[in-house]
Amino acid sequence: MFLISLEYKVPFEEIEPHLGDHISFVTKYVESGVFLLTGRKIPRTGGVLLARVENREQLMGLLGEDPFMEFKLANFEITEFELSRVSPELLG
């Protein structure tokens, strides 16, 4: 399991033209079950993704499709972790 924290490197005005494509990218992987959770940071300085993939190489391959990475608009901090507990509140 991987937690991905995105931090914008450019002003939001430079993010906006790519936002639609980023949302399409995120939606594709939410619908396929790869991204389990996604959301914006508050204040709006980036976002957070929770991904379930086999390994870091697979994750980097799919993140390469994100226009935020493609156009170097955001830094991606990636933390791999092993899931040990899940709150029933999250499941239900």
Per-residue pLDDT tens over the stretch 22-71: 999 999 999 999 999 999 999 999 999 999 999 999 999 999 999 999 99
Whole-number Å distance between alpha carbons of 64 and 75: 12
Residue 52 per-residue DSSP state: -
| Domain boundaries of the chain, sorted by first residue | 2-81
The CATH number given to 2-81 is 3.30.70.1060
The predicted model scores a pTM of 0.91
CA angle 48/52/57 to nearest 5° reads: 95
68: its two tokens: 């935020």
Nearest to 29 by CA among 61, 55, 6: 61
